[in-house]
Structure 1
Amino acid sequence: MSSDMSETVIRHAVTEDAGALLQLYSQPDTMADTLQLPHPSLQKWQHRISTLPEGTHMLVACIADRIVGQVTVYINGPARRRHTASFGPGVDSNPRGKGVATAMMRAILDLCDNWLGVERVELQVFADNQAAIGLYERFGFATKGRARAFAVRNGQQVDALYMARFRP
């Protein structure tokens, strides 16, 4: 099966996607690039999908009806931050480098820029995740700061970068 970006379909997540998302985030490489904890339950994913807070949009990326990526966009809640959004993605380790993350970025930035009125999109990324940093830079994100010992991954404290992009 070819897995180029032209075959990537982005859609909203539904509760029936919980099993596929559990598998996606059970992959060591995918989990290591996120703040997810190991061994989440199917019920946790079902609950997460079915109870999205207002202003939260969960999208999945599919190739041939198989979920290969997921991203959640959060519109920041306090009144004085509603012009901003943040997001957290995860991509299956198999099709990495095939355009899945690029397709997800296009979808969330279209949503933020053209439908939600978001002026600033921000994120945190592990400082050693060069592939993700390069992707974000290609979409106009710039590093705004560094958080030392941001999170624990595989027993080690790792830094993260704060990145942001203003609507063009």
Structure 2
Amino acid sequence: MDQATTADILIRAAEPGDAAAISALLGQIGTFEGTLQLPDMPVASRLDFLQRVDAHSCNLVALAGGEIVGMAGLHPQQPSLRRSHVRGLGIGISPGWQGRGLGHQLITRLLNWADGWAGILRIELHVHADNERAVTLYRSLGFVEEGRHKAYALKNGLYVDGISMARLHPNPPRIAD
């Protein structure tokens, strides 16, 4: 395991040129299982999506020694004006960096963007019910469980339940005095 600490991590906006490295991260054994990605998919299968720049999203990468070891993003959920206040959270962390606080750092940075700069009221996510570490992380950051989806995703030959979680802005914007 890398001896670097999260203090040695650089977090920055993801750029289109990062797409291949982000795709490789999402396809890594130990990372893809906690997402809806598939094993043994070509890096190119995700490039079009990962190269897109969307002014209504915030996509971050975490680098250790110049290598992308984590990514997280907030994305609009639908092209509906009535849901423009909502973003969905996605995250992927390299196995060697899981459980070391990197997910907390990435999500905290996203929450700062959402709360302070983007006028986002609600952030939603889905997590596999067997991913206790992720559920604990999300709860620590103010996400609450809103529902459970039976047989939500196929994972290594078994259907696993999913948990829907969301976080509402703790202090929604108002007019300054």
TM-score (ref. length: structure 1): 0.91
2:138 and 2:5 mapped to 1: Cα distance? 19
Which residues in structure 2 correspond to 1:17-166 (within 5 Å)? 17-76=18-77, 77-166=79-168
Residue 152 of structure 1, CA deviation: 0.6
- CA contact under 8 A between 1:3 and 1:98: conserved in structure 2? no
- CA contact under 8 A between 2:19 and 2:51: conserved in structure 1? no
Q: Quote the residue 2:169 is aligned against.
A: 167
Q: Quote the residue 1:8 is aligned against.
A: 9
1:12 and 1:44 mapped to 2: Cα distance? 22
Equivalent residue letter for 2:6:
M
Residue 54 of structure 1, CA deviation: 4.9
For the pair shown, the structure with the greater C-alpha radius of gyration is 2
Return closer, same or farther for 1:156/1:52 CA change in 2, 3 Å cut-off: farther
Flag as ranges the 4+ runs of structure 1 deviating above 6 A: none
Give the secondary-structure state (helix, strand or coil) at the position aligned to 1:94.
Answer: helix
- Unaligned runs of at least 5 residues, structure 1: none
TM-score (ref. length: structure 2): 0.87
2:42 and 2:19 mapped to 1: Cα distance? 9
Q: CA RMSD in A?
A: 1.6
Give the secondary-structure state (helix, strand or coil) at the position aligned to 2:62.
Answer: strand
How many aligned residue pairs are there? Answer: 168
1:67 and 1:131 mapped to 2: Cα distance? 21
Give the secondary-structure state (helix, strand or coil) at the position aligned to 2:40.
Answer: coil
Give the secondary-structure state (helix, strand or coil) at the position aligned to 2:162.
Answer: strand
Residue 52 of structure 1, CA deviation: 4.1
Residue 127 of structure 1, CA deviation: 0.4
- Unaligned runs of at least 5 residues, structure 2: 171-177
